[in-house]
Structure 1
Amino acid sequence: MDIALKQQRLALAREVLHTEADAIIALSDRLGDDFLAALALILQCSGRVVVTGIGKSGHIGNKIAATLASTGTPSFFMHPAEAAHGDLGMLTEQDVLLALSNSGESAEVVALLPAIKRRGIPIIAMTGRPQSTLGREATVHLDAAVEKEACTLGLAPTTSTTAALALGDALAVTLLDARNFKPEDFALSHPGGSLGRRLLVHISDLMHSGDALPQVSSGSSLKEALLEMTRKGLGMTAVVDASGRLIGIFTDGDLRRTLDQTLDLAGLAIDDVMTRNPRTIAANLLAVEAVKEMERRKINGLLVVDQQGRLAGALNMHDLLKAGVV
Structure 2
Amino acid sequence: MNAQILPLTSSAISHPLLDTAALVASALQVVDTEARAIELLKSRIDDNFLRACQLMFECPGRVVVSGMGKSGHIGRKIAATLASTGTPAFFVHPGEASHGDLGMITQKDVVIALSNSGETDELLMILPVIRRQGIPLIAMSGNDSSSLARLADVHLDVSVPAEACPLGLAPTASTTAALVMGDALAIALLEARGFTAEDFARSHPAGSLGRRLLLHISDVMHTGDKIPKVGIGASLSEALVEMTRKGLGMTAVVDADDRLLGVFTDGDLRRALDDHEVDLRAAKLGDLMTTRAKTIQPDKLAIEAARLMEDFKIHALLVVDASGALVGALNIHDLLRARVV
Fold shared by both chains (TM-score > 0.5): yes
Deviates more, 1:241-250 or 1:192-201: 241-250
Deviation at 1:27, TM superposition (A): 0.3
Residue 193 of structure 1, CA deviation: 2.2
Q: Residues 253-268 of structure 1 correspond to what in structure 2 (within 5 A)?
A: 253-262=267-276, 265-268=280-283
Q: Which residue of 2 aligns with 1:26?
A: 40
| Residue matched to 1:121 | 135
Residue 232 of structure 1, aligned match among 228, 246, 252: 246
Aligned counterpart in structure 1 of residue 22 of structure 2, from 8, 17, 20? 8
Deviation at 1:264, TM superposition (A): 5.5
Cα deviation for residue 2 of structure 1 reads: 4.2
What SS does the aligned partner of 2:209 have? helix
The SS at the match of 2:19 is: helix
Q: Deviations over 1:97-141 (max 9, x none)?
A: 100001111111112121111111110000111111111110111
Displacement, 1:61?
0.3
Which whole-Å CA distance do the structure 2 matches of 1:199 and 1:52 have between them? 33
Q: 2:211 matched to 1:200?
A: no
* Structure 2 residue aligned with 1:296: 311
User: Given residue 302 of structure 2, which amino acid in structure 1 is its aligned partner?
Assistant: A
Match for residue 189 of structure 1 among 192, 203, 215: 203
Q: 1:39 matched to which residue of 2?
A: 53
Amino acid at match of 2:240: L
**Secondary structure at 1:275's aligned position in 2?**
coil
Q: Which piece of structure 1 moves more, 220-229 or 121-130? A: 220-229
Partner of 1:210: 224
Distance 1:155 1:226, change over 3 A: same
Distance in 1 between residues matched to 2:307 and 2:30, nearest whole Å: 43
Q: CA deviation at 1:243?
A: 4.4
- Give the superposition deviation at 1:272: 2.0
Normalization by structure 1: what TM-score? 0.95
Q: Say what the alpha-carbon RMSD is for the aligned residues.
A: 1.8
Q: Which of 95, 108, 121 is residue 109 of structure 2 equivalent to?
A: 95
Pair 1:2–1:213, CA change in 2 (3 A): closer
Task: Name the SS of the counterpart of 2:119 in structure 1.
Answer: coil
| CA distance in structure 2 between the partners assigned to 1:224 and 1:72 by the alignment | 54
Q: 1:163 corresponds to which residue?
A: 177
CA distance in 2, matches of 1:43, 1:188: 20
Q: What residue is the counterpart of 2:296 in the other structure?
A: 281
SS at match of 2:168: coil
1:323 aligns with 2:338: yes
Specify the alignment match of 1:86 in structure 2: 100
Assess, with a 3 A threshold, how the Cα gap between structure 1 residues 216 and 32 changes in structure 2: closer, same or farther.
same
Alpha-carbon offset, residue 242 of structure 1:
4.3
Distance, in Å, in 2 between the alignment partners of 1:31 and 1:280 is: 52
Report the number of matched residues.
Answer: 326
Identify which range, 98-107 or 307-316, moves more after superposition: 307-316
Query: What CA distance in whole angstroms lies between the structure 1 residues aligned with 2:158 and 2:19?
Result: 34
Q: Deviations over 1:201-222 (max 9, x none)?
A: 1001111122221112223222
Encode CA deviations 1:299-319: one digit per residue, 9 max, x unaligned: 110111222333221100111
Residue-by-residue CA offset, 1:183-236 (whole Å, 9 max, x unaligned):
222222122222222222100111112222111222322222112212222110
Deviation at 1:65, TM superposition (A): 0.8
Superposition deviation, residue 245 in structure 1: 3.1
Q: Segments of 4+ in structure 1 off by > 4 A?
A: 1-4
Q: Deviations over 1:147-204 (max 9, x none)?
A: 1111111211100101111111111111111122222222221222222222221001
Output the amino acid matched with 1:229.
M
The answer to whether 1:222 aligns with 2:241 is: no
1:260 CA drift (Å): 2.7
Q: What is the rounded CA distance, in whole Å, between the counterparts of 2:239 and 2:290 in structure 1? A: 13
Question: In structure 1, what is the Cα distance between the partners aligned to 2:124 and 2:167?
Answer: 27
How far apart in 2 are the matches of 1:110 and 1:216?
A: 75
In 2, the alpha carbon distance for the partners of 1:151 and 1:298 equals: 56
In 2: Cα distance, 1:319 partner to 1:29 partner = 52
Deviates more, 1:87-96 or 1:273-282: 273-282
Moved more, 304-313 or 280-289: 304-313
Give the whole-Å Cα distance in 2 for the aligned partners of 1:161 and 1:248.
Answer: 63
Equivalent in 298, 301, 314 of residue 329 of structure 2: 314
**1:130 is matched with which residue: 140, 144, 149?**
144
The 1-side partners of 2:86 and 2:72 are apart by: 21
Identity across matched positions, percent:
62
